[in-house]
Amino acid sequence: MISYQPTPIVRIELPEANRAGVHLWIKREDLNHPFATGNKWWKLKYNLDQAKRAGHATLLTFGGAYSNHIFATAAAAAEAGFQSIGVIRGEDVEPRNPTLQFATECGMRLHFITRTDYRRKDHAVMTRDLRDHFGDFYLIPEGGSNQDGVRGCVEFAHMLTREAEFDHLILPVGTGATMAGLICGLEGAKHITGISVLRNGGFLNEDISAFARNYSGADYGNWQLLTSYDHGGYARVTDELLRFIVMMQDRHNLPLDPVYTGKMMWAVAREIERGHFARGSTVLLIHTGGLQGRGSVAGISQA
């Protein structure tokens, strides 16, 4: 329903990996679409399909003021011929940041609610109130994290197995739906490691299990979630992380964002040093896109 550009798998010559004898590769899904990049493309694919099949003309979803998901959904909705509404956490501040400005340019109607109300976004009363206000819409949860989102990521896992041989699959984790889809798609093969970008992200273990169980009915044991690489929490950064991201851009021509992929790559480098991966193993990382978020952080080029 929205265009997809095939993406390369690129070798990364990190000194840590070379010393450890680990073959490190990254799937550049940040290149799969001009705006709805990375895992957002896969999580939106079947949500858009279901909305179209059900005859909906309008999509409604949720996100913060710098949300990759809001950015991607606005672009995908415009391309697929939907109207869109973004329910945004916090106050409307002028001038709007580039993420929200882009969303409005795509035709997305922005609706700002308090942080207290935002915590009720999954409640039936909130959905009813939004329908009373906006009329009919197809609801996509924050991050596109539902069973249709999982389904798209299952399909992505099948594509990865056709394109590459690997022992370990690594990705950043925010809600757990993408990781659950990859777990189900690989059906117990390989080993999957998620890097939590949330502070105290241990609760994501149950979320990932629930998404996977609800989709497949199975409990797979070939995965783990690392929770010590959040650099202070969601959308928080450290100077050390920013220097690392700049180094990856300058030395390896690999753009990373500070919320997801930068933390993933940092974690992988540290885990290689700790001997997490056996010598001779092949590690495939997923670039989940979201590079539009680089513009909100001082010191990181948009190049």
Under-50 pLDDT residues of the chain: 298, 302-303
CA 31 to CA 40: how far, in whole Å? 12
- All domains in the chain, ordered by first residue: 9-36+146-296 (3.40.50.1100), 39-144 (3.40.50.1100)
This prediction has a pTM of: 0.95
* 29, 40 contact by CB (below 8 A): no
